[in-house]
Amino acid sequence: MDTPKKNESNKKTTIIETPKKKHWFLKGCLIFFVLLIVLIGSAFAMAFRLPQKWGIVKSPAEKVFDDTPDRTSAKKVTAELKKSGMSTKGLDVYVLPLKDGSGEVAVVTLDASQGFAFSGTAGGDPFLGTMAAIAKTQLTNNATLKRVALDYKDETGATIFSATAPTGPILDFANGKISRDIFMKSIDGRLDIKNTVDRYQRNPLY
Amino acid sequence: MTKNYFIIGLALTGLMLLGGGCSQSDTSLVIDFFNSWAQTRGITDKNGNPTASSIWYVATGQTTGNDQTDAAIDAGQVIKSIKDADAKVAKADVALAKKPPDNVTAMANIDSALTGRPKDQTIRTRKGVLLLETGQGSKAAAPYLAINSAKCSGAIEAMTQGQVERCYDQIQAEVNEMASANIRAYDAKSKPRCAVLTAQRAGRQQMYYLSKRMNFLDPQDDPMFAYGYLGGGQMDCMP
């Protein structure tokens, strides 16, 4: 008589435990799924720099640069580049002093939609040549120019590639003291993924 | 006749395509440069495929870990706001060049420029000067006429020679802007504004100390310069 009772109680135990396990399995799956979505969403937001675009996070530029750009120096540099034979159509120079007062950064926009085209003076490697031409202007006379940045916009005015390098390596490259490969290693940059994808969708040939 | 038109049309289409190709070639050149740079930096492999480290770099918001480098790469938004503000200031200049000057349009444009860049001292100086020119009083203008430049932050003694020179240039530009406002006031046969003179004097004092730091001044000439920079030419002014 005892044996069947034991079996019954065993059966009962089995019946009760099965839904609990399922319940926890489903909960675990849901948590994993939510975490995965959050992770992918965050990666997407970070890759497209959405927090900065939406103004949730202050961009590094707002934190580092002073509120007043040096317009006088920018005008002088543009005039100097023009005098050296470089076409300044679609080229805008901005000299941005650092908030800590230690120097400034020259940011140059090269806007193909405004008629910018790499000119002959830039030499065999137009992008690096343009960077070198800017670093060679009077901005470097007083050794407070920390770095040069180029921001290239395509014929629709969308930023494609931004790159920057410290003044020292740029001048070393311009004066033939370091090779192109070594100089390339001192450059930091960013390809605008969204704009580049849009561009390829518009015209896969370019 | 129809055939001729067809040939001309074809030639024009060809030229347009060629023209389009030329304007786009610079962008392809930049993308080629990016590919070459990305390979050198190990962002992509020899086949142009992204490496594991580059995927991490993109997923974490493409930061280099260096604030100054990130700021330089990320300056697009700041540049856009400067460009927009400068375009508005240029519109104000056009309005002021009219005879008689259109002060209302000029002020509206300067205010609009300041909305986007409220701490931009160059635009603030313009606003201060315009307030004085439109007779709105020194009290209203004074807050906009402070000399405040990152190039001049910190003690003069701690600055490098280059920093001192840049600071001097910046202050000189701001003092000149104020001086031109005062000259315009003279044209209107009125006394210079006290707020402008006070701000100018503060600027000249800084220029004097900077000159000393740069060893521009001959010790024998110092008293004369000190008079010119620090106290000379006290003028009668309007509040």
Q: What is the rounded average pLDDT of the residues B62-81?
A: 85
Least Cα separation, residue B126 to chain A (angstroms): 13
Residue A92: in which H helix or E strand, if any? strand A91-97
Name beta bridge partners: B120.
none
> Residue B122 burial (CB < 10 Å; 0-12/13-18/19+)?
buried
Interface of A with B in 44-103 (CB under 8 A): 46-47, 49, 52, 59-73, 92, 94, 96-103
Which of B38, B60, B151 lies closest to A46 in CB terms? B60
ipTM: 0.72
C-alpha separations of A71 from A133, B46, B83, B123, B169 in Å: 19, 42, 11, 11, 11
* Subunit contact A187:B37, Cβ cutoff 8 A: yes
B17 and chain A in contact, CB less than 8 A: no
* Residue B172 clears pLDDT 60, i.e. is over it: yes
pLDDT tens, N- to C-terminus, chain A (206 residues) = 444 555 555 555 555 555 566 678 888 888 888 998 888 887 777 666 677 667 677 778 888 998 888 888 888 889 988 888 888 899 999 999 888 877 889 999 999 999 998 875 444 688 888 888 888 887 666 567 889 999 999 888 888 889 999 999 999 998 889 988 899 999 998 887 777 777 777 775 54
- Residue A160 phi/psi, 5-degree rounding, is -105, -50
* Subunit contact A101:B153, Cβ cutoff 8 A: yes
Q: Which chain B residue has its CA at the smallest distance from A93's CA?
A: B79
Which of A49, A99, A185 lies closest to B41 in CB terms? A185
C-alpha separations of A72 from A92, A110, B125, B147 in Å: 13, 20, 14, 16
B81 and chain A in contact, CB less than 8 A: no
Interface of B with A in 191-220 (CB under 8 A): none
How many CB atoms within 10 Å of residue A19? 9
Distance of alpha carbon B154 from alpha carbon B133, whole angstroms = 33
List pLDDT tens digits, range B129-170.
Answer: 788 777 776 677 777 776 555 556 556 666 777 777 777 877
Q: Which residues of A touch B64 (CB under 8 A)?
A: 188
* Residue B19 clears pLDDT 50, i.e. is over it: no
Q: Which position has the higher pLDDT, B204 or B81?
A: B81
